[in-house]
Amino acid sequence: MKVLALDASNRPLSIAVLEDRQILATTTTTTHQKHAQFLLPIIDGLMKDCGLKPADLDRVVVAYGPGSYTGIRIATATAKVLAFTLGIQLVGVSSLQTLALNFTRERQLISPMFDARNQNLFAGLYRIKDGKPTVVIPDQHVELSRWLTKLASYKDESIIGVGDADHFPDQLPANFTMAENLNKLPQAANLGLFGQTLPAVQDIDSFVPNYLRLTKAEADWQKLHPEEDSSSYVEKV
């Protein structure tokens, strides 16, 4: 199976091309701010390095959120339209879980987190089981203080903080250790390996980023109109 994997959820941009368990090529950069501009040239370059054409791909694996709304939308749109137009398989993986894929020590707890500003986080808690991160506390948009309360029952275990964990050096408890070096960054090669073990998306049309948060306008609207069905706001004309 030939696989393209990509993560553009935050500042790092990571892309990999794999054939089954073999990583053919991968790159991770932290210098690009314009993912919309750089993503496809990097994909194209890696594919050419591997001697592959787009039509050779069998599966696209994407980190589809949470993260920067623009970042996860670019990655998701890229993967969604590519899978759709080539008629190949599509797999979405949590962008937080993607960071947890950097760790393999059995039973290790990992708390990937993205800074959502104003002391808010996108965060989840994972435990390595049979070499893979499994969900302990599901991904959520949460206040930092609330998140730390939820982690309190794991105070006797070590937790690895990854992602933007180092934005809060003085607030995280003593059982936290910070991921370092390459482990701090999403690795699309790991994403591609992991994504091969998951079932493909059944309905590509309805595959959208996992924002984990309504827009403010939408949230305010739903508060005022709790009965309204919000599923049919787009009409074909």
Partner 1 sequence: MKRNLMMAFESSCDETSVAIIENGAKILSNVVATQIKSHKRFGGVVPEVASRHHIEEITICIRDAMQEANVTYDDLDAVAVTYGPGLVGALLIGVTAAKMVAWAHQLPLIPVNHLAGHIYAARFVEPIEFPALALVVSGGHTELVYMPKEGEFQIIGETRDDAAGEAYDKVGRVMGINYPAGPTVDAMAAKGNDTFDFPRAMDKDANYDFSFSGLKSAFINTYHHAEQVGNKLNHDDLATSFQNAVVDVLVDKTLRALKNYPVKQLILAGGVAANNGLRTRLSAAIDQLPATQLIMAPRKLCGDNAAMIGAAGYVLFKEGHFAGLDLNADPSLEFDWAPDVIQ
Rounded least distance, CB 139 to partner 1, Å: 18
Residue tagged 């370092």 (tokens): 180
* Distance separating alpha carbons of residues 9 and 29, to the nearest angstrom: 12
- Give the C-alpha distances (Å, rounded to integers) separating 193 from 12, 84, 158, 190, 233: 19, 21, 26, 5, 37
**Contact between 70 and partner 1 (CB under 8 A)?**
yes
**Contact between 117 and partner 1 (CB under 8 A)?**
no
The answer to whether 63 and 114 have CB atoms below 8 angstroms apart is: no
The answer to whether 198 and 191 have CB atoms below 8 angstroms apart is: no
**Contact between 34 and partner 1 (CB under 8 A)?**
yes
Q: How many CB atoms lie within 10 A of CB 99?
A: 34
* Distance separating alpha carbons of residues 234 and 23, to the nearest angstrom: 41
**Contact between 86 and partner 1 (CB under 8 A)?**
yes
Q: Stretches 71-79, 109-117, 170-178, 181-189: which one binds partner 1 (CB under 8 A)?
A: 71-79
Residue tagged 């934005």 (tokens): 167
Total number of residues that touch partner 1 (CB under 8 A): 40
Strand ranges across the sheet with 89-93: 22-29, 13-19, 2-7, 59-63, 89-93
The answer to whether 97 and 67 have CB atoms below 8 angstroms apart is: no
Give me the half-sphere count of Cα atoms (radius 13 Å) on the Cβ side of residue 221.
8
The answer to whether 30 and 84 have CB atoms below 8 angstroms apart is: no
**Contact between 152 and partner 1 (CB under 8 A)?**
no
Subset of residues 195 to 224 that bind partner 1, contact rule: CB under 8 A: 204-206, 208-209, 211, 215, 217-218, 221
**Contact between 106 and partner 1 (CB under 8 A)?**
no
**Contact between 52 and partner 1 (CB under 8 A)?**
no
- CB closer to partner 1, 75 vs 159: 75
**Contact between 37 and partner 1 (CB under 8 A)?**
yes
Rounded least distance, CB 77 to partner 1, Å: 4
Rounded least distance, CB 204 to partner 1, Å: 6
**Contact between 31 and partner 1 (CB under 8 A)?**
no
State the residues that interact with partner 1 by CB under 8 A: 34, 36-38, 40-41, 43-44, 53-55, 69-70, 73-74, 76-78, 80-82, 84-86, 204-206, 208-209, 211, 215, 217-218, 221, 232-237
